[in-house]
Structure 1
Amino acid sequence: PHTWIDPDGAEHWVTRAANFVVIASRTKKNTVLSRTTSQQNDEYFILLPENTAAIVCSNGNKIQSDGDSLFIVPPGDSQAHILNDGWVFRVFSKNAKDLLAMAMNCQAWENLSDVAELLDWPTPVDGFKLRHYQLKDYVRSDTTMRLFRTRNLMINIFLPSVAPRDIRKLTPHSHPDYEQGSLAVHGAYIHHLRYPWTPDMTEWREDEHIVASAPSLCVIPPNVIHTSQAVGEQGMRLVDIFAPPRKDFSLKPGLVCNEKEYPLPADIQS
């Protein structure tokens, strides 16, 4: 179900995890996506797929993009003026309290104890400001990942898949204390999930193989073994979301595309 529909026909779906919120918006030409100072006390991401153009404004600054780009929007008032019909994806921390209550799955995240606390890392070296990254400028030959972070969020915008994933080269893994959001932006995926056994057999769960077409968000709990399999023919786009940012990725020099803008906490550096 839609979370809400604008008078111009733009449709919005809000989903959440323990520490982050995602809004997927099917916009119209001239749709305006706004946040006010009272709503937004920290940064958030705006992801524009290919062929979705927008002008993003914040604190007197204005940047236009023709699509396939990522914005980091600073705290305070902001607007994204969409220039054509298309999809827009926004990722917020749980500090956007108004959005938590709007999420269609809001009741699923009550009384969680196994998820890492969301703590702010140091402020950007050049202060809070509107930032824009054209994704084609961050393609590397040694990885399919394109990682960006804010003070309390990390996003991994994978290179588009050019073929269905080789079933002999899947990468099942788990995370001990944080969730992963796998956001399908284009194409179709199967999210394979295996739940750990506990001493209480009544808590055991069967493996899950969730077929998810874009746009969709799969929130993977801590300790659940998982891997995502692209099953479309070409152009599949998947985005992983972490809150707080992953320490292991952040400690690998050069892996996070905007690492020079966002310093690490002292305890992580040491």
Structure 2
Amino acid sequence: MSRIEPSLGLHYAEPAQLTTPTGESTWLTRSANVVVAISQVGAGTVLSRTEQPDEHMLLLPPGVRARVATPNEAIEAGPESLTIVPPGESHITLLDAGTVTRVFSVRATDLAALASNASTYADGAPTVAPLDDWPMPSDGYRLRHYRLAEYSDPKIFGRLFRSRNLMINVFERVTEPRDPRKLSPHSHADFEQLSLALEGSFIHHLRTPWGPDSAVWKADEHVEVHSPSTLVIPTQLIHTTQATGTGVKWLIDVFGPPRMDFSLQPGVVRNAGDYPMPATA
């Protein structure tokens, strides 16, 4: 079985996959189940979806507001917030210039096809668990808006939110580099992780496990990146990320479908009350 290699999108150094006359520049990177769109936009830019098959997520950084509208409702999303947008038609009008992040499942086939690493998944990803939908919210699909400042609790790991088939971990913005003596190398057996550097510099430490054939062993990699950038970490690859340098550092992790291990921990998924877990859990 061939191994999926890590994908790295250096959005600050590479051309965008999608540009529009209205000022949008969007970099697209995918995993087996997820598409991440990082867009540089001006005030007044409109990001629209007309026949979106499932929910997607909008993450706004500090200093950027947006009006998010569907045929049924509209909200003003404030800076440093997460909004889950229902399937179907939606229009995101940016009220300020900045860099915004959207997360889709690969059912957004038009975006998946444009991803910079689309060819990596041309033959599928046999080691990755399929994209399954978790149960419907009890109150149905609607705009769900979360002000991230309300979910800052140092006693709880990260700031995890889920939709029916996506999960995002919006870590706190930090200014101190990570202690190199307190890293957390680990791997995932059957799901991929997308790590998004939205501010600052990081080193992604990557180790490919040894198999019986020493001819295909690989040396460890220590990949230094700046922002914005996206790393797709395949299954079974040992990894940990280290914030470096001075200034603000902001890292986001994305998964699809939602992680059961996080979801089984009381209080860790901040919007667990909005999205029921599968009955088998």
Whether TM-score is above 0.5 comes out as yes
Residue 249 (structure 1) aligns with: 262
CA–CA separation in structure 2 for the residues paired with 1:66 and 1:177: 35
Matches within 5 A, 1:33-44: 33-37=47-51, 40-44=52-56
**SS of aligned partner of 1:136:** helix
Determine if contact 1:20/1:92 at 8 Å carries over to the other structure.
Answer: yes
Residue 17 (structure 1) aligns with: 31
Matches within 5 A, 1:113-192: 113-192=126-205
Determine if contact 2:77/2:83 at 8 Å carries over to the other structure.
Answer: no
Instruction: Give the paired residue count.
Output: 266
**SS of aligned partner of 2:232:** strand
CA–CA separation in structure 1 for the residues paired with 2:277 and 2:77: 29
CA–CA separation in structure 1 for the residues paired with 2:224 and 2:156: 26
Determine if contact 1:144/1:159 at 8 Å carries over to the other structure.
Answer: no
Percent of aligned positions that are identical = 50
- Which of 88, 95, 112 is matched with 1:83 structurally? 95
CA–CA separation in structure 2 for the residues paired with 1:71 and 1:14: 19
Which structure is higher in RCO with an 8 Å CA cutoff and minimum separation 6?
A: 2
**SS of aligned partner of 1:36:** strand
TM-score (norm 1): 0.96
**SS of aligned partner of 1:50:** coil
CA–CA separation in structure 2 for the residues paired with 1:235 and 1:211: 16
How far 1:231 moved relative to its partner?
Answer: 0.5
How far 1:53 moved relative to its partner?
Answer: 1.1
Determine if contact 2:85/2:143 at 8 Å carries over to the other structure.
Answer: yes
- Which of 7, 15, 18 is matched with 1:4 structurally? 18
Q: What one-letter code is carried by the residue in structure 1 that aligns with 2:91?
A: Q
**SS of aligned partner of 2:126:** coil
Which runs of 5 or more residues in structure 1 are unaligned? none
CA–CA separation in structure 1 for the residues paired with 2:170 and 2:113: 27
Residue 57 (structure 2) aligns with: 45
Determine if contact 2:157/2:268 at 8 Å carries over to the other structure.
Answer: no
Deviation string 1:40-92 (CA, Å, 9 cap, x unpaired) is: 11000000000111111113211112310000000010011001110110000
How far 1:235 moved relative to its partner?
Answer: 2.0
**SS of aligned partner of 1:267:** coil
- Which of 53, 78, 83 is matched with 1:66 structurally? 78
Determine if contact 1:55/1:62 at 8 Å carries over to the other structure.
Answer: yes
CA–CA separation in structure 2 for the residues paired with 1:241 and 1:61: 27
Coordinate RMSD, CA, aligned: 1.0
Residue 201 (structure 1) aligns with: 214
How far 1:110 moved relative to its partner?
Answer: 2.5
Which runs of 5 or more residues in structure 2 are unaligned? 1-14
CA–CA separation in structure 2 for the residues paired with 1:46 and 1:88: 7
CA–CA separation in structure 1 for the residues paired with 2:239 and 2:39: 27
Deviation string 1:18-38 (CA, Å, 9 cap, x unpaired) is: 10001110001100000012x
**Which consecutive aligned stretches of 4+ in structure 1 deviate over 4 angstroms post-superposition?**
none
TM-score (norm 2): 0.92
Deviation string 1:113-156 (CA, Å, 9 cap, x unpaired) is: 11111111101121110010000000112135000001111000
CA–CA separation in structure 2 for the residues paired with 1:79 and 1:203: 48
Residue 277 (structure 2) aligns with: 264
**SS of aligned partner of 1:67:** coil
CA–CA separation in structure 1 for the residues paired with 2:246 and 2:73: 40
**SS of aligned partner of 2:79:** strand
